[in-house]
Structure 1
């Protein structure tokens, strides 16, 4: 990724989409290179422009944002998806995360919050608005309280290995060196781990891992 974060906006409301485009274009290091008015159109725009980040609405005609996110992540796993929507019900939030979104903000979020989310997702991290993070935390607490013969069965063996190393305090560079992986591959695996565990970042992932007995 270059120093400039190439971004595509997907929203079916033209006034909001155009306003958001102007807002993001005013941020240093962020360039809006394209827009789409629904999920189906976003697939074409993303395939053609190959952005670093897609800012995605959820409720849209033709194809909703969850399905569009799922297809984009499947076809272009290096692209980060930030959901920016009015929907904050649990089902929508977790559907978007399961589809591969690494950020989730509500419309009305401040410019600084949107900018921070775009930068975080472009760097391979996951980030969520305060109310969304709280909801994820509640789900997370309920999830880790359940007994399981194998902690986090939703993780691949490689993801579990990386999570164990994170739990004992290894940095991304140390993990990459130990497992003979590129730092980018480690970041991508961590993003997948955050999404699968429904945690907002590295700190919550470490807590989850240690509570499950990893890294002890």
Structure 2
């Protein structure tokens, strides 16, 4: 597989290029230090996978990914970041990213890229065979009743909107309810699903689609 590595930290790029380049089935087709450069290289080199840092000055990884994935037959995008539990995960999944990996686990990057190349998705190193891709390939909406039978219909609606990357105000607008009501639903969802925050709600949604 041909991979582009993009990170604004030159040490990270160099390390990943060495680790990945040593793999017999991985070719580092190019490296970039900004989202803008990653977009250009993706168009020029037609890689199989673009490995992107999320937080970069200028064009960040999420913006770059959106542009890379907007073209016909795009490469798969895998995010590599320091942050394991924040809103970036939600936005990355909603964009259609094939993976979200943590920088500290460099040894797990190559196996994760192999899983992505095989058509699977990975989240923090865990293979999710259908979670992210199902959103784009399955017509209509998933049966939320079967995914989360313990939730009310309105709570399931809130879960799906959070999984799309919407904040509380946007959820309120989309679902025609007040922000206070949204917060109440989220509190109930967290209690019923034994979760800590809204990011984990989104992750639970994608994992439930497996």
TM-score using structure 1 length: 0.61
Whether 2:108 is the aligned partner of 1:116: answer no
**Which residue does 1:198 correspond to in 2?**
206
Q: Secondary structure of 1:55's partner? A: strand
Q: Rate the CA distance shift 1:29–1:131 in 2: closer, same or farther, 3 A.
A: closer
The one of 123, 148, 154 equivalent to 1:128 is: 123
Indicate conservation of the 8 Å contact 1:54/1:79, yes or no.
yes
Structure 2 counterparts to residues 94-173 of structure 1, below 5 A: 94-111=90-107, 113-129=108-124, 144=148, 145-148=150-153
Indicate conservation of the 8 Å contact 1:67/1:99, yes or no.
no
TM-score using structure 2 length: 0.62
Q: Rate the CA distance shift 1:50–1:14 in 2: closer, same or farther, 3 A.
A: same
CA-based RMSD of the aligned residues comes to 3.3
**Which residue does 2:14 correspond to in 1?**
18
> Structure 1 residue 99: deviation in Å?
1.6
> Structure 1 residue 8: deviation in Å?
0.2
Indicate conservation of the 8 Å contact 2:112/2:125, yes or no.
no
> Structure 1 residue 153: deviation in Å?
7.5
Q: How many residue pairs are counted as aligned between the two chains?
A: 151
Q: Rate the CA distance shift 1:67–1:26 in 2: closer, same or farther, 3 A.
A: same
> Structure 1 residue 123: deviation in Å?
1.8
The one of 22, 33, 40 equivalent to 1:37 is: 33
Whether 2:83 is the aligned partner of 1:83: answer no
The one of 52, 55, 67 equivalent to 1:56 is: 52
Indicate conservation of the 8 Å contact 1:103/1:128, yes or no.
yes
Q: Secondary structure of 1:89's partner? A: coil
The list of structure 1 runs, each at least 4 consecutive aligned residues, that deviate by more than 6 angstroms after superposition, is 149-154
Segments of structure 1 that go 5 or more residues without pairing to the other structure are 155-194, 207-216
Instruction: Output the CA distance in 2 between the equivalents of 1:132 and 1:91.
Output: 20
Indicate conservation of the 8 Å contact 2:5/2:31, yes or no.
yes
> Structure 1 residue 61: deviation in Å?
1.0
Q: Rate the CA distance shift 1:86–1:29 in 2: closer, same or farther, 3 A.
A: same
Instruction: Output the CA distance in 2 between the equivalents of 1:91 and 1:53.
Output: 23
> Alpha-carbon deviations, 1:5-51, whole Å to 9, x = none?
00000100112101110110001200000011111111100000010
